[in-house]
A = this chain, B = another copy of it.
Amino acid sequence: MGQAQVIDGKAFAAGLRARVAERVAKLKAEHGLQPGLAVVLVGDDPGSQIYVRSKGEQTLEAGMHSVTHRLPAETSEADLLDLVRALNADPAIHGILVQFPVPPHIRQSAVLEVLSPDKDVDGLTVANAGRLASGLPALSPCTPVGCMLLLRDALGELRGKRAVVVGRSNLVGKPIAQLLLQADCTVTIAHSRTVDLPAVCREADILVAAVGVPELVRGDWIRPGAAVIDVGMNRLPSRDPVKAAQGKTRVVGDVAFAECAEIAGWITPVPGGVGPMTVACLLQNTLTAALRLNGIAE
């Protein structure tokens, strides 16, 4: 009967952005320092264009310096790497985000090898993965950080809870497992090779779905009262056949929301759950990077 408390990621993200903006204003007043974020987009993918514009707008709204570099799709890898090196060296820039995917003639790995780990606000470099895995101060990927903030807000103390992460990507699954482990959860990582995935999911006090399979997680996979975090963002044709024929789409998560909301204690919707947290955490990471690069206490 829909007992779960629906976690309002949109409202939480708005609050987080406001708190970041306050700290940015304080940093400017007390230290004369304005955090700066550079976003680099190669090519003209419409989805990426919208996403990059939104990042730029939210950066400005938080009182930060915002630079967006839009490069043509035929930009060479060498030119992109030169731009990243220039941004590494630019003292007005504290966070650098290269919007992935880049065109196929550019190696993502080459970009991440050049990108300074101290400005890697997406938390994608090997150095930041190593710092996270070693329990050192890292810039952690934004979506996992956002999931943790929502979980702490909903549940309070996470220590000793059983967490199951479905999915083992470098961008989401693995880093969120590390963060849950740091929070003293007992963490299980499940994936496409897991035997009896429903039974493994039923062990979870905290279930994080990050696999990219629409509505994979069903109601009978949920332990009653569990917190369910849906990282999925899957685009399906509109339910309305006329709109679908016009190419209209709808977004669904990795969790069958209605079924699972009957059993779970907390659940994030899609859209409006984890999604809005990602950019808010990007701003927070940029602030953190600015503080660390300038040796100011966080």
Contact = CB atoms under 8 A, between A and B. Distances in A.
A110 to B, nearest CB: 13
A133 B190 CA distance: 16
A103 B188 CA distance: 37
Q: How large is the interface on A (under 10, 10 to 19, 20 to 34, 35 or more residues)?
A: 20 to 34
Interface stretch (A45-53, A65-73, A122-130, A257-265): A122-130
Nearest to A124: B134
Number of copies: 2
A181 interface: yes
B181 A168 contact: yes
A254 to B, nearest CB: 17
A181 B186 contact: no
Contact of A129 (B134, B160, B186, B187): B134
Interface in A127-147: 127-136
A184 interface: yes
B130 A174 contact: no
A184 B190 CA distance: 9
A189 B203 CA distance: 14
A190 B200 contact: no
A195 interface: yes
A223 to B, nearest CB: 14
24 contacts: A125-B130, A126-B131, A126-B134, A128-B130, A129-B133, A129-B134, A130-B130, A130-B131, A132-B133, A133-B133, A133-B170, A135-B170, A160-B193, A160-B194, A174-B181, A177-B189, A184-B191, A186-B189, A186-B193, A186-B194, A186-B200, A188-B188, A188-B189, A203-B203
